[in-house]
Structure 1
């Protein structure tokens, strides 16, 4: 039972929205300003689980979060896809011509970069969280400054939306992991997706061999992400997501990869949120 969940950001952030959609509106949230703090909240028992953005359909993978999950031996128990709509918001009575600076999370700024080419007078400034900027504008009654955040943030902090859905690609999704310190309690017949990690020798065909194992065992590769091993130059860890119809097929693949690959590790087994 998840009663408290750690999120990156404050209420009104996209992580907060995921907590309400994946769990429910009664769940308590521990508002953390960094993903390191999110991890600490779970490890020290302050939160039962954590929500972590892992990739965006425009900006790509959030690679440091893979490393955090792996290095702290956390378990992915679920995933959630959220439609991300970025809105430009400020105190009421202002137009976009009044705005001199826009603050938001670097990822949000990146996803909205094209919009601001129309407004060269606006300075873009990276900040720690989307919703926290909206909260700060309201608290300090700051004029001539806008935030990029969710509609929920605009409602919570009583800001006017100057321009809606300003992200470059209108269909903009972020995938989130729900992680805990212990593995999921899902029955095997409910599990149809897994996240795994392994390392390989730097020699010809080593990755192709593993991919052939996945194919032979009827697993569908939905994502592969490499991460360099800092302590071993030119050696890489691979983070892979697979889907499957039969847990037995997946179990067979695990047994083979455990022999063939180095440092094979299951990061999580869960339900495919795309089904």
Structure 2
């Protein structure tokens, strides 16, 4: 029996949409109101996969999620890029002039801030999940309140789209990763991207040396993110994503990096979703 996929949010959320696109439009999901809860389900064995947003083209990295993957020794086994389109949703028959409050996730509110400058009468209220607000408005028949959510949420909860694509920057993309407890067996010939983590001494040129190894071994650095080590002030862990054409080049690079860096770890090897 196939286990459901754990997502942050509920049906109609962007995480739900990624689960449908990556696995199947009929994929069953476990709805979680936090990323910590999704990880709990994975560690308990309630699910074999979780969908986790990792970075946004506007807002940048979701740093706590890097720590969740690392601290629990989880493995990234895939990725999916989703074009995020924010829509203003309300009960059927409502108009923008009827709306007094808009409830949504803080990130959605921030990304749509310019749109609401034209509607100073509307109060913006933070909520935990975009789709959850849409569901509450529908089930409780709440008038005068709107949600910022996906068109999927509008269809799922029978709401009207008062305004479409209201985000300030129209090309708004989020990278989601698919995470398991252990790396599943992916054919080596299909692997052309990896997520790595390492630490370095606080010495001049230590990071540059590692980056030179990547370059010399024909790896393309697509992401680098530093995260402070709480127990060691002013020392940082680095999370990097690299792509490559030949797995042997990647193997050579990692064999060298293991010797040069501290606490080197492969967080995942998978297929580049950009190709």
| TM-score, normalization by structure 1 | 0.98
**Residue matched to 1:161:** 161
CA distance in 2, matches of 1:230, 1:109: 30
**2:128 corresponding residue in structure 1:** 128
Distance in 2 between residues matched to 1:12 and 1:153, nearest whole Å: 4
Deviation at 1:2, TM superposition (A): 5.9
Instruction: Give the Cα separation in 2 of the matches to 1:53 and 1:221.
Output: 20
**Distance in 1 separating the partners of 2:201 and 2:125:** 42
Matched, 1:100 2:100: yes
Q: What SS does structure 1 have at the residue aligned with 2:117?
A: helix
CA–CA distance in structure 2, aligned partners of residues 61 and 86 of structure 1 = 19
Question: Which residue of structure 2 lines up, in the alignment, with residue 71 of structure 1?
Answer: 71
2:33 maps to: 33
Aligned to 2:216: 216
Q: Is the 8 A contact 1:184 1:270 kept in 2?
A: no
Correspondences of 1:62-211 after superposition (within 5 Å): 62-211=62-211
| Equivalent position of 1:244 in the other structure | 244
- What residue number does 1:43 align with? 43
**Structure 1 position 216, deviation (Å):** 0.4
1:184 to partner: Cα distance: 2.3
Question: How far 1:3 sits from its partner (Å)?
Answer: 3.8
* 2-structure distance, mates of 1:252, 1:94: 61
How many residues in Structure 1 have an aligned counterpart in Structure 2?
275
For residue 14 of structure 1, report the CA deviation from its aligned partner: 0.4
Greater than 3 Å deviation, 4+ residue runs: none
Q: Report the Cα offset of residue 179 of structure 1.
A: 0.2
Can you give the 5+ residue segments of structure 1 that lack an aligned partner in the other structure?
none
Name the residue aligned to 2:6. 6
CA contact (8 A) 1:225 1:239 kept: yes
8 A contact 2:3–2:46 mirrored in 1: no
Structure 1 partner of 2:260: 260
RMSD value, Cα: 1.0
The DSSP-based 3-state class of the residue aligned with 1:114 is helix
Is 1:56 aligned to residue 60 of structure 2? no
Distance 1:262 1:110 in 2: 38
CA distance in 2: counterparts of 1:160 and 1:25, whole angstroms: 23
Structure 2 contact 109–126 (Cα < 8 Å) conserved: yes
Q: C-alpha separation between the residues in 2 aligned to 1:185 and 1:129?
A: 33
Q: C-alpha displacement at 1:233, in angstroms?
A: 0.9
Inter-partner Cα distance in structure 1 for 2:262 and 2:172: 35
Cα offset for 1:26? 2.4
Asked whether the 8 Å contact 1:3–1:27 carries over to 2, the reply is no
In structure 2, what is the Cα distance between the partners aligned to 1:99 and 1:204? 56
Query: Partners of 1:46 and 1:24 in 2: how far apart?
Result: 19
Whether contact under 8 Å (2:219, 2:243) holds in the other structure is yes
* TM score, norm. by length of structure 2: 0.98
Tell me the distance in 1 between the aligned counterparts of 2:155 and 2:266. 40
For 1:67 and 1:256, how far apart are their aligned partners in 2? 24
SS at match of 2:138: helix
After superposition, what is the alpha-carbon deviation per residue over 1:239-274, rounded to whole angstroms, capped at 9, x for unaligned? 000000000000011111101001100000000000
Is the 1:38–1:50 contact (alpha carbons within 8 Å) kept by the matching residues of 2? Answer: yes
Unaligned runs of 5+ in 2: none
